[in-house]
Copies of this chain bind each other. A is one copy, B any other.
Amino acid sequence: MQGNRSFVLVSRPRGIPSESDFAIRSHRIPEIGKGEFLIRNHYASIDPAMRGWLDDRPSYLPPVAIGDAMRAGTIGRVVASKAPGIKLGDWVKGINAIQDYSVGRTGDSNRPVDPGRVTSMSHYISVAGGAGLTAHVGINRILRPVAGETLLVSSAAGAVGAVAGQLARLAGARVIGIAGGADKCRRLTAELGFDHAIDHRGKDADTLLAELVAAAPEGLDMVFENVGGPGLDAALLHLKKHARIALCGLISEYNSPPIGARNLKELVFRSATMRGFTLLDFPEEIAPATGQLIDLANSGAIICAEQIEHGLDNAFQTFLNLFVGGTSGKLILKLI
């Protein structure tokens, strides 16, 4: 009996996280009280946003405390319950932690999900999880593509970018993806239906701009930005008048002193708008968007590749892969 093993933050990373910033610790499996339920976590979502939660300053969620298990979106199964409406065997989705067992409480983030709606429970943290839902609100609430418009998506083979690009294509937009490496680029056009893919590896902003101009001579109506750096600098130089940028993330700036966006003045010249957002801004979208995304995935209208790694012992390496371009599709840690 191992008890409750957790992936715990033991020191705050500077730059790229190192293995010594984390430890696997084991505690007793918690007792539950009235209104609580015990969740056996099956899947944990591994996301770039987790890097932000490690810094000792508030972002849209408080920092993870030293000594606490690393926060993550999870899918798990209820193994004990003293909460009304939550039964033994229920599947729940919530923001918990990378650990074997978490305690849920009535009114917290945990919500039952229907196993009959999906072919794999992991879909609730990929296409119908934070990644797919973030893509959904970014496209449908921030960018609102109109048929015939051109969208640029960065980190387009990533979990959010791949769904964002596919949703925009379903709305009739022309979609260009930026990704790292020939394999990812091939997948964008061959499997995900992107109109064009640009491999950013080894290219500066000038080269990326030339490729953007070739791919979309008329300019960009929309940008779904996940990365920052030279790709964003190039995109800013190729905006159409009144272009809109959904700023979903800036993964290139999370680990190191940021290079900075050098062409912001293009927002003035183009009367363009850059809007930062997170899924948490649109709580009313979560239920309907979850249903829509599951339907689209089940029908094959959108594809959400999953990269599933196994075991709590691999939590650090799985997380690290996000920052070295080593992932493709939604990164998930399967705990059991």
This chain's copy number in the assembly: 2
Does B273 lie within 8 Å of A275, measured CB to CB? yes
Does A265 lie within 8 Å of B281, measured CB to CB? no
Q: Does A270 contact B (CB under 8 A)?
A: yes
Q: Does A190 contact B (CB under 8 A)?
A: no
Q: Does A336 contact B (CB under 8 A)?
A: no
CB distance from A313 to the nearest CB of B (A): 31
Distance between Cα atoms of A209 and B197 in the complex (Å): 40
Does A274 lie within 8 Å of B267, measured CB to CB? yes
Given A260-B262, A275-B273; A268-B248 close (CB under 8 Å): yes
Q: Does A249 contact B (CB under 8 A)?
A: yes
Given A253-B265, A261-B264, A264-B247; A273-B271 close (CB under 8 Å): no
Distance between Cα atoms of A179 and B254 in the complex (Å): 31
CB distance from A308 to the nearest CB of B (A): 27
Q: Does A250 contact B (CB under 8 A)?
A: yes
Q: Does A11 contact B (CB under 8 A)?
A: no
Complex interface: chain B residues within 8 A of A58 (CB): 269
| A interface residues (Cβ-Cβ under 8 A, vs B) | 52, 58-60, 228, 242, 247-250, 253-254, 257-278, 281
Can you report 17 A-B residue pairs in the complex whose CB atoms are below 8 A from each other? A58-B269, A60-B271, A228-B265, A247-B264, A250-B265, A250-B268, A253-B264, A253-B265, A258-B263, A258-B264, A259-B262, A260-B261, A261-B261, A269-B276, A271-B281, A272-B275, A273-B275
| 7 tightest Cβ-Cβ pairs between the two chains A and B | A260-B260, A267-B276, A59-B269, A268-B276, A260-B262, A273-B275, A250-B265
* Known pairs A254-B265, A271-B281 / 6 extra A-B pairs, C-beta < 8 Å: A60-B271, A247-B264, A247-B268, A249-B268, A250-B265, A261-B261
